[in-house]
Amino acid sequence: MPNLNDIMEMVDALETKAVITAPTRCVAVRNRHSTCRKCADVCMADAIEIEKNELAIDAGACVACGACIAVCPTSALISVDPMEEELAAAVATATAAAEGVTVIACARKAARQTGDPDKYAVVPCLARMDERLLVELAARGIRDIQLVDGTCRTCKYRAAAPCIDDTVESARTLLEAVGSATAITRSDDFPEAVRVADLHKAVGAARREFFTSTGHYAKDVAKTAAEKMVNEKLKQLKLQKEEQSLREKLGVKNGAGKMPTIEAGRNLEILDAMSRIGEPEVPEMFTRIFGDIEIDVEKCNGCGMCVMFCPTDALRKSLDVHPDKTRGYVEFSMADCTQCNLCADACLKKCIEIIPVVPMAELFDFEPRLVEISASKSGNNKLFNRKK
């Protein structure tokens, strides 16, 4: 039987951050002119710092609510507790046990032992939820999704309540646009089908949770050693990264050209789930997930900064020739636009606007749209003049 000191040493060794960063995905890291501060704006603990092309999280200040993960347009923030796969698996298991009703509760509500622990999944805070999981559940035939948190006034996560409401409203909008009958509700108590029938079972589960979740104490010694080795390797890689220039960190090659892009994975997964649910039932949709673009061609000088810095390849060079030699085209893919706004921030003439209202026909078309721009007046823009 390990003593208290042994337990604390293991907890310290296994302790990880609740949220880790993927800096090369962050638009504020990719371009210092980026105005995106969505993660910092929703962080109730002021644990996120974005400055001088750096993204950092103060693990000591972070309360693990997960709100930053839900709002990041490029998935530059990744949940470790719980991981995406762990949450999906827990939801699937609980949904099966609850006979097709999906119930997800915050940890504080779960601790009150009023629900059957086999029939609901647990997250530290419901702010961790994002549209991807909710829409995917609807695509898999779930008709009743209930988020239970108690809306406690004394909860340390209480400032995240508006974030939860925003996510629920956003998911409802996505589902209604394709005629889904799935209901997403937020309540302060477990539904009747999930309420505990055996108090001893709930208390026993709570005790097990204490010993298995706090610091992941139940992990074996081999995994502890492996994790220490991984942490040492990560420290080495961090030191190597710190010695690199920003261009090297981002993988920018010599010469003018488009920066390396990332996949708009969350967008594509949501769109795939929506398409499996049904055809669009509305002509357009207001959303924080996808975006449309408008370019004032009279102001545009064809500099190509929008294409160069678009992180998801939503904007790219077009080989189509405009009949007017003073004009040109870029290709725009609505499905890949995440409303990160970096194209507008990088625009030298400030002639770009990102619109949160998207036409459904174009969104589901998957074909890029030609957007008119001005031809480069200087004639020496390497991005637009080079051959593909």
Examine the pLDDT at 213 and tell me if it is beyond 90.
no
Q: What is the pLDDT of residue 84?
A: 87
Regarding whether 313 and 207 lie in a shared domain, the answer is no
Examine the pLDDT at 129 and tell me if it is beyond 70.
yes
Domain carrying residue 318: 265-385
Regarding whether 101 and 200 lie in a shared domain, the answer is yes
Give dist(CA 35, CA 291) in Å, integer: 16
Query: Is residue 208 in some structural domain?
Result: yes
Q: How far is CA 43 from the centre of its chain?
A: 14
Examine the pLDDT at 243 and tell me if it is beyond 90.
no
Regarding whether 158 and 72 lie in a shared domain, the answer is no
Q: What is the pLDDT of residue 387?
A: 46
Examine the pLDDT at 354 and tell me if it is beyond 60.
yes
- Where is the domain boundary, 194, 215, 236? 215
Tokens 């003049």 locate to: 385
**Percentage of the chain surpassing pLDDT 90?**
62
Q: Kindly tell me the sign of the dihedral angle through the C-alpha atoms of 337, 340, 346, 351.
A: positive
Q: What is the pLDDT of residue 16?
A: 54
Q: Please state, rounded to an integer, the average pLDDT across all residues of the chain.
A: 83
Average pLDDT (319-328) is 92
Average pLDDT (118-137) is 94
Regarding whether 354 and 272 lie in a shared domain, the answer is yes
CB atoms within 10 A of CB 172: 18
Q: What is the pLDDT of residue 332?
A: 97
Q: What is the pLDDT of residue 310?
A: 96
Examine the pLDDT at 49 and tell me if it is beyond 60.
yes
Query: Is residue 232 in some structural domain?
Result: no
Tokens 């059957």 locate to: 116
Examine the pLDDT at 102 and tell me if it is beyond 80.
yes
Query: Is residue 211 in some structural domain?
Result: yes
Query: Is residue 331 in some structural domain?
Result: yes
Q: What is the pLDDT of residue 171?
A: 98
Q: What is the pLDDT of residue 131?
A: 96
- Could you tell me the CATH number of the domain that includes residue 346? 3.30.70
Q: What is the pTM of this model?
A: 0.81
Q: What is the pLDDT of residue 353?
A: 97
Query: Is residue 246 in some structural domain?
Result: no
Query: Is residue 370 in some structural domain?
Result: yes
Examine the pLDDT at 221 and tell me if it is beyond 70.
no
Give dist(CA 193, CA 217) in Å, integer: 32
Q: What is the pLDDT of residue 218?
A: 36
Query: Is residue 118 in some structural domain?
Result: yes
Q: What is the pLDDT of residue 35?
A: 95
Higher confidence at residue 243 or residue 197?
A: 197
Total domains in the chain come to: 3
Average pLDDT (118-125) is 94
Average pLDDT (353-363) is 97
Q: What is the pLDDT of residue 139?
A: 97
Regarding whether 172 and 113 lie in a shared domain, the answer is yes
Regarding whether 61 and 102 lie in a shared domain, the answer is no
Examine the pLDDT at 197 and tell me if it is beyond 50.
yes
Q: What is the pLDDT of residue 368?
A: 94
Examine the pLDDT at 209 and tell me if it is beyond 50.
no
Examine the pLDDT at 277 and tell me if it is beyond 80.
yes
- Where is the domain boundary, 26, 47, 80? 80
Regarding whether 114 and 39 lie in a shared domain, the answer is no
Average pLDDT (96-108) is 92
Regarding whether 379 and 327 lie in a shared domain, the answer is yes
Regarding whether 342 and 274 lie in a shared domain, the answer is yes
CB atoms within 10 A of CB 374: 21
Regarding whether 274 and 202 lie in a shared domain, the answer is no
- Could you tell me the CATH number of the domain that includes residue 22? 3.30.70.20
- Where is the domain boundary, 53, 80, 107? 80
On whether the CB atoms of residues 336 and 372 are closer than 8 A, the answer is no
Share of the chain residues as helix, strand and coil, in percent rounded to the nearest 5: 40, 15, 45
On whether the CB atoms of residues 307 and 330 are closer than 8 A, the answer is yes
Q: What is the pLDDT of residue 250?
A: 55
**Percentage of the chain surpassing pLDDT 70?**
76
On whether the CB atoms of residues 304 and 256 are closer than 8 A, the answer is no
Regarding whether 344 and 283 lie in a shared domain, the answer is yes
Q: What is the pLDDT of residue 30?
A: 93
Q: What is the pLDDT of residue 81?
A: 78
Query: Is residue 297 in some structural domain?
Result: yes
| SS3 call for 62 | coil
Average pLDDT (67-75) is 95
Regarding whether 91 and 73 lie in a shared domain, the answer is no
